[in-house]
Amino acid sequence: MRVKNFNITVGAQIYKSCSDEARLRILNLIMYHGEMCISDIEIILGYTQTKTSRHITYLKNSGILATRKTDRWVFYSIKEEMKDIINLLHQFVAKDQTLREDIDTFETMFSNRELAINQSHLVGNS
């Protein structure tokens, strides 16, 4: 599904949302992983909970992010109808060194999490 009623107001809101470095970094991580929770974004980017939450709320209110709640966790993803637009904008900044370092940090954190989960299963099965 794509944005059906794209107009200057929608376009301006998307550009405003993507005009901040913190929001671009958040979008980069979500685009890379598909969906993320706020606590992982905080850790990877080194932001406070307040700063991360403020930027996530801005992206959500602008219509870019969707949410999925599981128990006490909220996962954020890019709305299906916004993926094409955000992907086009992202192509211009995707090779930025900071964004690449964020992805490296994510991959390290994710592999460490998987290792910890596997180790806990091994201990539990002993």
pLDDT tens-place string over residues 54-73: 999 999 999 999 999 998 89
Mean pLDDT of 7-32: 86
Assigned domain for 24 exists: yes
CATH number at residue 90: 1.10.10.10
Domain count, the chain: 1
**pLDDT value at 4 more than 80:** no
Assigned domain for 2 exists: no
Assigned domain for 85 exists: yes
Assigned domain for 1 exists: no
Assigned domain for 55 exists: yes
Residue 62 CB neighbour total at 10 angstroms: 18
Edge-to-edge strand ranges of the sheet holding 73-78: 36-37, 73-78, 65-70
Segment 22-52, tens digit of pLDDT: 999 999 999 988 999 999 999 999 999 999 9
Assigned domain for 78 exists: yes
What range defines the domain where residue 66 resides?
A: 8-124
